[in-house]
Amino acid sequence: MHQDIESVLFSAEELHRRVTELGAEISRDYQGRQPMLISILRGAFIFMADLVRSIEVPCTIDFMAVSSYGSGTTSSGQVQITKDLSDDIEGRDIIVVEDILDSGNTLYYLLQILAARKPSSVRLCTLLNKPERRVKEVDVTYSGFSIPDAFVVGYGLDYNERYRNLPYIGILKPFVYTGKR
């Protein structure tokens, strides 16, 4: 797997340090409250696990899986919930935890769906932010790192269900997904 990585963007140590900082920010902002963190599967599960361990206020967790791709490789723009929340969010403080904010299409619609369920608040925490690719504006409260427009894997992010288990985030060599050397 490591041979498919062009360069490492963020080492395991850099990730740990930034996730700890995000946990401290959330702990400060939610003092005296109990937020519910919602991880968007599958890519955010490692980030979510580390983030929750860095938060020092009581919190609960839940998971959602969404798709906007259908059977193709480009977004259809229509969000389909493939795994919904287990708990009601009405009146709760919600923090959506995402691995990467790219075009914003999926998160824009997902945040609208969640807002319709009448939570007290909804905020977004994303590990990676690719502002160059933004099509829909999405309000980000907590952002780990801004990254260039590159195909990244590791720390939960994948290509074709591979590379999630890398302890760092790296740029995938283009030949891996184009087949061209």
Catalytic residue numbers read 102
Q: How far, in Å, CA of 157 to CA of 153, rounded?
A: 5
Provide the token pair at 53. Answer: 């361990």
CA-to-CA dists, residue 44 to 21, 29, 52, 101, 160, angstroms: 17, 21, 12, 11, 16
Instruction: Tell me if residue 5 falls in helix, strand or coil.
Output: strand
Residue 45: both structure tokens together:
């599960």
**Cβ atoms of 9 and 170 closer than 8 Å:** yes
Rg (CA), the chain: 16
Helical ranges in the chain per DSSP H: 12-29, 45-54, 105-115, 174-178
